[in-house]
Protein backbone atom coordinates (compact mmCIF):
# COMPACT_ATOMS: atom_id res chain seq x y z
CA UNK A 1 0.00 0.00 0.00
CA UNK A 2 1.17 3.54 -0.73
CA UNK A 3 -1.14 5.17 1.81
CA UNK A 4 -3.82 3.82 4.19
CA UNK A 5 -5.52 6.32 6.47
CA UNK A 6 -9.02 6.99 7.74
CA UNK A 7 -9.56 9.42 4.87
CA UNK A 8 -8.16 7.55 1.89
CA UNK A 9 -6.60 4.35 0.60
CA UNK A 10 -3.96 4.50 -2.13
CA UNK A 11 -2.87 1.12 -3.46
CA UNK A 12 0.43 0.51 -5.26
CA UNK A 13 -0.29 0.86 -9.00
CA UNK A 14 1.22 -2.48 -9.97
CA UNK A 15 -0.64 -4.23 -7.15
CA UNK A 16 -3.90 -2.53 -8.13
CA UNK A 17 -3.59 -3.74 -11.72
CA UNK A 18 -2.96 -7.30 -10.56
CA UNK A 19 -6.06 -7.19 -8.34
CA UNK A 20 -8.18 -5.91 -11.22
CA UNK A 21 -6.86 -8.70 -13.45
CA UNK A 22 -8.13 -11.30 -11.00
CA UNK A 23 -11.32 -9.43 -10.09
CA UNK A 24 -10.26 -8.67 -6.54
CA UNK A 25 -10.03 -5.60 -4.32
CA UNK A 26 -7.58 -4.57 -1.60
CA UNK A 27 -9.11 -4.18 1.86
CA UNK A 28 -6.07 -3.69 4.10
CA UNK A 29 -6.13 -3.98 7.86
CA UNK A 30 -4.91 -1.39 10.29
CA UNK A 31 -1.21 -1.15 11.05
CA UNK A 32 -0.12 -3.22 14.09
CA UNK A 33 -3.62 -4.62 14.61
CA UNK A 34 -3.19 -8.42 14.13
CA UNK A 35 -6.72 -9.15 15.38
CA UNK A 36 -8.09 -7.46 12.27
CA UNK A 37 -6.90 -10.51 10.33
CA UNK A 38 -6.90 -13.20 13.00
CA UNK A 39 -8.07 -15.95 10.63
CA UNK A 40 -5.21 -15.23 8.22
CA UNK A 41 -2.59 -15.07 10.97
CA UNK A 42 -3.87 -18.36 12.43
CA UNK A 43 -3.68 -20.12 9.06
CA UNK A 44 -0.11 -18.89 8.54
CA UNK A 45 0.86 -20.22 11.96
CA UNK A 46 -0.62 -23.65 11.18
CA UNK A 47 1.27 -23.89 7.87
CA UNK A 48 4.53 -22.81 9.49
CA UNK A 49 4.25 -25.38 12.27
CA UNK A 50 2.70 -28.38 10.52
CA UNK A 51 3.98 -28.04 6.95
CA UNK A 52 7.21 -26.07 6.87
CA UNK A 53 8.64 -27.06 10.24
CA UNK A 54 7.69 -30.70 9.67
CA UNK A 55 9.99 -30.79 6.63
CA UNK A 56 12.98 -29.09 8.23
CA UNK A 57 15.06 -32.30 8.44
CA UNK A 58 14.52 -33.35 4.82
CA UNK A 59 16.88 -32.49 1.95
CA UNK A 60 15.37 -31.36 -1.34
CA UNK A 61 17.29 -31.32 -4.61
CA UNK A 62 14.89 -29.09 -6.54
CA UNK A 63 12.18 -26.50 -5.98
CA UNK A 64 9.61 -28.79 -7.64
CA UNK A 65 10.40 -31.56 -5.13
CA UNK A 66 9.95 -29.13 -2.23
CA UNK A 67 6.64 -27.89 -3.65
CA UNK A 68 5.33 -31.45 -3.97
CA UNK A 69 6.18 -32.17 -0.34
CA UNK A 70 4.50 -28.95 0.81
CA UNK A 71 1.36 -29.73 -1.19
CA UNK A 72 1.14 -33.13 0.49
CA UNK A 73 1.43 -31.59 3.96
CA UNK A 74 -1.09 -28.84 3.22
CA UNK A 75 -3.47 -31.40 1.71
CA UNK A 76 -3.31 -33.41 4.92
CA UNK A 77 -4.03 -30.29 6.98
CA UNK A 78 -7.06 -29.40 4.85
CA UNK A 79 -8.46 -32.95 5.01
CA UNK A 80 -8.13 -33.24 8.78
CA UNK A 81 -11.45 -32.86 10.69
CA UNK A 82 -11.96 -29.77 12.83
CA UNK A 83 -11.60 -30.26 16.60
CA UNK A 84 -14.57 -28.18 17.74
CA UNK A 85 -17.04 -28.46 14.90
CA UNK A 86 -18.05 -30.86 12.17
CA UNK A 87 -16.32 -31.03 8.81
CA UNK A 88 -12.90 -30.06 7.53
CA UNK A 89 -11.31 -27.24 5.59
CA UNK A 90 -11.81 -29.15 2.33
CA UNK A 91 -15.52 -29.52 3.06
CA UNK A 92 -15.87 -25.81 3.83
CA UNK A 93 -14.13 -24.97 0.58
CA UNK A 94 -16.31 -27.27 -1.52
CA UNK A 95 -19.60 -26.57 0.22
CA UNK A 96 -19.46 -22.86 1.09
CA UNK A 97 -16.65 -21.07 -0.72
CA UNK A 98 -16.30 -22.66 -4.14
CA UNK A 99 -19.77 -21.52 -5.40
CA UNK A 100 -18.70 -17.93 -4.66
CA UNK A 101 -15.38 -18.15 -6.50
CA UNK A 102 -14.88 -16.59 -9.91
CA UNK A 103 -13.08 -18.46 -12.72
CA UNK A 104 -9.44 -17.52 -13.21
CA UNK A 105 -8.56 -15.32 -16.22
CA UNK A 106 -7.36 -17.24 -19.30
CA UNK A 107 -3.83 -15.85 -18.84
CA UNK A 108 -1.87 -15.19 -15.65
CA UNK A 109 -1.06 -11.62 -14.66
CA UNK A 110 2.29 -10.27 -15.80
CA UNK A 111 4.16 -7.36 -14.24
CA UNK A 112 4.02 -4.32 -16.51
CA UNK A 113 6.72 -1.65 -16.84
CA UNK A 114 5.43 1.68 -18.12
CA UNK A 115 7.46 4.48 -19.71
CA UNK A 116 6.87 7.51 -21.89
CA UNK A 117 9.14 8.00 -24.89
CA UNK A 118 9.46 10.17 -27.97
CA UNK A 119 9.53 8.48 -31.37
CA UNK A 120 12.95 9.13 -32.89
CA UNK A 121 13.62 10.32 -36.42
CA UNK A 122 14.14 6.69 -37.52
CA UNK A 123 10.60 5.80 -36.27
CA UNK A 124 11.86 3.74 -33.32
CA UNK A 125 11.46 4.23 -29.57
CA UNK A 126 14.04 3.28 -27.00
CA UNK A 127 13.13 0.94 -24.16
CA UNK A 128 15.48 -0.99 -21.90
CA UNK A 129 18.39 -0.29 -24.23
CA UNK A 130 16.66 -1.76 -27.32
CA UNK A 131 14.80 0.01 -30.11
CA UNK A 132 11.27 -0.88 -31.24
CA UNK A 133 9.63 0.43 -34.40
CA UNK A 134 6.33 2.31 -34.63
CA UNK A 135 4.47 3.55 -37.74
CA UNK A 136 6.60 6.27 -39.29
CA UNK A 137 3.72 8.76 -39.21
CA UNK A 138 4.27 9.14 -35.46
CA UNK A 139 7.84 10.46 -35.69
CA UNK A 140 8.61 13.03 -32.96
CA UNK A 141 5.38 12.26 -31.08
CA UNK A 142 5.29 11.16 -27.45
CA UNK A 143 4.06 7.61 -26.87
CA UNK A 144 3.45 5.29 -23.93
CA UNK A 145 5.43 2.05 -23.70
CA UNK A 146 4.04 -0.83 -21.64
CA UNK A 147 6.28 -3.89 -21.37
CA UNK A 148 5.75 -7.29 -19.84
CA UNK A 149 8.28 -10.10 -19.69
CA UNK A 150 7.22 -11.22 -23.17
CA UNK A 151 5.78 -8.22 -25.06
CA UNK A 152 6.29 -4.50 -25.65
CA UNK A 153 3.14 -2.50 -26.45
CA UNK A 154 3.32 1.06 -27.76
CA UNK A 155 0.32 3.41 -27.56
CA UNK A 156 -0.37 7.02 -28.45
CA UNK A 157 -3.26 9.11 -27.07
CA UNK A 158 -4.80 5.98 -25.57
CA UNK A 159 -4.82 4.02 -28.86
CA UNK A 160 -2.49 1.04 -29.34
CA UNK A 161 -0.12 1.52 -32.26
CA UNK A 162 1.73 -1.80 -32.25
CA UNK A 163 2.97 -4.71 -30.18
CA UNK A 164 6.36 -6.43 -30.39
CA UNK A 165 7.84 -9.55 -28.86
CA UNK A 166 10.19 -8.25 -26.17
CA UNK A 167 13.80 -8.47 -27.27
CA UNK A 168 16.50 -9.91 -25.05
CA UNK A 169 19.23 -9.36 -27.63
CA UNK A 170 22.31 -7.25 -26.74
CA UNK A 171 21.57 -3.62 -25.94
CA UNK A 172 21.48 -1.43 -29.00
CA UNK A 173 19.58 -4.03 -31.04
CA UNK A 174 16.59 -3.09 -33.19
CA UNK A 175 13.19 -4.74 -33.50
CA UNK A 176 11.72 -3.45 -36.76
CA UNK A 177 8.40 -4.23 -38.38
CA UNK A 178 8.74 -3.67 -42.17
CA UNK A 179 5.20 -2.31 -42.39
CA UNK A 180 6.24 0.58 -40.13
CA UNK A 181 8.87 1.83 -42.59
CA UNK A 182 8.09 4.51 -45.17
CA UNK A 183 8.17 3.61 -48.83
CA UNK A 184 11.63 3.01 -50.32
CA UNK A 185 13.19 3.02 -46.82
CA UNK A 186 13.10 6.83 -46.63
CA UNK A 187 12.53 8.30 -43.25
CA UNK A 188 9.42 10.43 -42.98
CA UNK A 189 11.28 13.01 -40.90
CA UNK A 190 13.43 14.04 -43.90
CA UNK A 191 16.40 11.70 -43.29
CA UNK A 192 17.50 9.16 -45.86
CA UNK A 193 20.56 7.22 -46.91
CA UNK A 194 20.94 9.33 -50.05
CA UNK A 195 20.90 12.47 -47.97
CA UNK A 196 23.64 11.18 -45.67
CA UNK A 197 25.73 10.21 -48.70
CA UNK A 198 25.23 13.65 -50.22
CA UNK A 199 26.34 15.37 -47.03
CA UNK A 200 29.35 13.09 -46.68
CA UNK A 201 30.40 13.69 -50.29
CA UNK A 202 30.56 17.43 -49.56
CA UNK A 203 33.13 16.75 -46.82
CA UNK A 204 35.41 14.46 -48.80
CA UNK A 205 35.69 11.10 -50.60
CA UNK A 206 36.92 9.26 -47.51
CA UNK A 207 34.03 10.53 -45.40
CA UNK A 208 31.69 9.36 -48.16
CA UNK A 209 33.34 5.92 -48.25
CA UNK A 210 32.94 5.44 -44.47
CA UNK A 211 29.33 6.70 -44.54
CA UNK A 212 28.47 4.31 -47.35
CA UNK A 213 30.06 1.40 -45.45
CA UNK A 214 28.00 2.24 -42.34
CA UNK A 215 24.76 2.44 -44.34
CA UNK A 216 25.46 -0.96 -45.95
CA UNK A 217 26.37 -2.60 -42.64
CA UNK A 218 22.72 -3.02 -41.58
CA UNK A 219 20.05 -5.17 -43.18
CA UNK A 220 17.57 -2.33 -42.66
CA UNK A 221 19.30 0.85 -43.76
CA UNK A 222 17.41 3.11 -41.36
CA UNK A 223 18.98 1.33 -38.41
CA UNK A 224 22.32 2.90 -39.35
CA UNK A 225 21.07 6.50 -39.48
CA UNK A 226 21.98 7.19 -35.85
CA UNK A 227 25.56 6.08 -36.53
CA UNK A 228 25.75 8.28 -39.63
CA UNK A 229 24.60 11.25 -37.61
CA UNK A 230 27.21 10.48 -34.97
CA UNK A 231 29.91 10.33 -37.68
CA UNK A 232 28.97 13.73 -39.06
CA UNK A 233 28.83 15.14 -35.53
CA UNK A 234 32.52 14.24 -35.17
CA UNK A 235 33.26 16.61 -38.03
CA UNK A 236 31.07 19.36 -36.60
CA UNK A 237 32.84 19.19 -33.22
CA UNK A 238 36.43 18.60 -34.30
CA UNK A 239 36.69 19.98 -37.84
CA UNK A 240 35.90 18.46 -41.23
CA UNK A 241 39.58 18.17 -42.15
CA UNK A 242 40.17 16.03 -39.06
CA UNK A 243 37.21 13.81 -39.93
CA UNK A 244 38.30 13.39 -43.55
CA UNK A 245 41.84 12.45 -42.52
CA UNK A 246 40.57 9.98 -39.91
CA UNK A 247 38.22 8.42 -42.46
CA UNK A 248 41.10 8.05 -44.94
CA UNK A 249 43.15 6.20 -42.32
CA UNK A 250 40.15 4.03 -41.42
CA UNK A 251 39.73 3.04 -45.09
CA UNK A 252 43.38 1.99 -45.16
CA UNK A 253 42.90 -0.18 -42.07
CA UNK A 254 39.66 -1.89 -43.09
CA UNK A 255 37.61 -2.48 -46.22
CA UNK A 256 34.47 -1.90 -44.11
CA UNK A 257 35.45 0.91 -41.73
CA UNK A 258 33.22 1.52 -38.72
CA UNK A 259 32.24 4.58 -36.73
CA UNK A 260 34.11 3.25 -33.69
CA UNK A 261 37.37 3.07 -35.67
CA UNK A 262 36.96 6.63 -36.96
CA UNK A 263 36.13 7.94 -33.49
CA UNK A 264 39.26 6.32 -32.05
CA UNK A 265 41.42 7.80 -34.83
CA UNK A 266 39.95 11.29 -34.33
CA UNK A 267 40.71 11.16 -30.60
CA UNK A 268 44.27 10.00 -31.30
CA UNK A 269 44.85 12.79 -33.84
CA UNK A 270 43.55 15.43 -31.45
CA UNK A 271 45.88 14.15 -28.71
CA UNK A 272 48.86 14.30 -31.07
CA UNK A 273 48.01 17.85 -32.10
CA UNK A 274 47.57 18.95 -28.51
CA UNK A 275 51.02 17.57 -27.58
CA UNK A 276 52.74 19.25 -30.58
CA UNK A 277 53.73 22.85 -29.64
CA UNK A 278 54.03 23.85 -33.32
CA UNK A 279 50.61 22.55 -34.26
CA UNK A 280 48.92 25.87 -33.41
CA UNK A 281 51.77 28.26 -34.33
CA UNK A 282 51.28 30.83 -37.11
CA UNK A 283 54.35 30.51 -39.37
CA UNK A 284 54.26 33.11 -42.16
CA UNK A 285 57.73 32.52 -43.62
CA UNK A 286 60.48 34.98 -44.71
CA UNK A 287 58.56 36.06 -47.82
CA UNK A 288 55.89 37.71 -45.69
CA UNK A 289 58.38 39.80 -43.72
CA UNK A 290 60.39 40.65 -46.84
CA UNK A 291 57.37 42.34 -48.38
CA UNK A 292 57.03 44.60 -45.36
CA UNK A 293 60.26 46.44 -46.33
Specify the pairing of strand 174-175 against strand 130-133.
parallel
Average pLDDT on 146-157 reads 94
In angstroms, the CA 102 to CA 104 distance is 6
pLDDT tens figures, 227-244: 998 999 999 999 999 999
Confidence of residue 223 (pLDDT cuts 50, 70, 90): confident
- pLDDT bracket for residue 4 (50, 70, 90): low
Residue 138: pLDDT band (50, 70, 90) is very high
Q: Is there a domain that residue 280 lies in? A: no
Q: Is residue 285 part of a domain?
A: no
Q: Are residues 99 and 162 in the same domain?
A: no
The answer to whether residues 271 and 204 belong to one domain is yes
**Domain tally for the chain?**
4
Q: Are residues 105 and 122 in the same domain?
A: no
Domain stop point among 94, 109, 124: 109
Cα separation, 273 vs 287, in Å, equals 26
118 phi/psi in degrees, rounded to 5: -105, 130
Whether 121 and 179 share a structural domain: yes
164-179 mean pLDDT: 90
In a domain, 128, yes or no: yes
Looking at the fold, whether 143 and 169 belong to one and the same domain comes out as yes
**In terms of residues, how long is the chain?**
293
Instruction: Specify if 124 maps to a domain.
Output: yes
Specify the pLDDT at position 55: 92
Is 238 within the bounds of a domain? yes
pLDDT number for residue 248: 94
58 and 70 fall within a common domain: yes
- Residues 255, 266 share a domain: yes
Domain boundary among 55, 88, 109: 109
Residues 122, 96 within the same domain: no
Together in a domain, 14 and 44: no
- Mean pLDDT of the region 247-253: 92
What's the distance, Cα to Cα, between the start and end of the chain in Å? 89
- Among the ranges given (3-7, 80-84, 105-109), the one the predictor scored with the smallest mean pLDDT: 3-7
Q: Does residue 287 form part of some domain?
A: no
Span 169-179, mean pLDDT?
A: 88
Is 137 found in the same domain as 68? no
Query: What is the domain extent for residue 262?
Result: 193-275
In a domain, 292, yes or no: no
Q: Is the pLDDT of residue 124 over 90?
A: yes
- Are 270 and 199 within one domain? yes
For residue 264, CA distances in Å to 155, 258, 259, 260 come to 39, 10, 9, 6
Determine the pLDDT at residue 187.
45
Question: What tens digit of pLDDT does each residue of 49-77 get?
Answer: 999 999 999 999 999 999 999 999 999 99
More confident residue, 35 or 77: 77
Query: Which of 185, 211, 228 is where one domain is finished?
Result: 185
Who wins on pLDDT, 189 or 131? 131
Residues 160 and 154 sit within 8 Å (Cβ to Cβ): yes
Helices (H), 51-94: 63-79, 89-92
Check residue 289 and give its pLDDT: 54
Is the confidence at residue 102, as pLDDT, over 80?
A: yes
- Residue 180 sits in the same domain as residue 118: yes
In a domain, 220, yes or no: yes
The mean pLDDT of the chain is 85
Q: What is the pTM of this model?
A: 0.48
The dihedrals phi and psi of 133, each to the nearest 5 degrees, come to -80, 150
pLDDT band at 188 (very low <50, low <70, confident <90, very high): very low
Average pLDDT in the 21-33 region?
A: 82
Instruction: Tell me: pLDDT of 185 over 60.
Output: no
Confidence of residue 16 (pLDDT cuts 50, 70, 90): confident
Mean pLDDT of 135-162: 93
- Burial letters for 54-76: b for 16+ Cβ neighbours within 10 Å, e otherwise? eeeeeeeeeeeeeeeebeebbee
Amino acid sequence: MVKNTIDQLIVNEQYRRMLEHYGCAAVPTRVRKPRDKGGVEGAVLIVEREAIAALRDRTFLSLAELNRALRERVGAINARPFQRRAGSRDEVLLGQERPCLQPLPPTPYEMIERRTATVQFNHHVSFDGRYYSVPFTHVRRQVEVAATRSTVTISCDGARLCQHVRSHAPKGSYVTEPAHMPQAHRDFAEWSGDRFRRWAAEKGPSTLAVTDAILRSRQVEQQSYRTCRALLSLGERNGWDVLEEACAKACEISRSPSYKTVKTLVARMLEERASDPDAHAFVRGPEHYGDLG
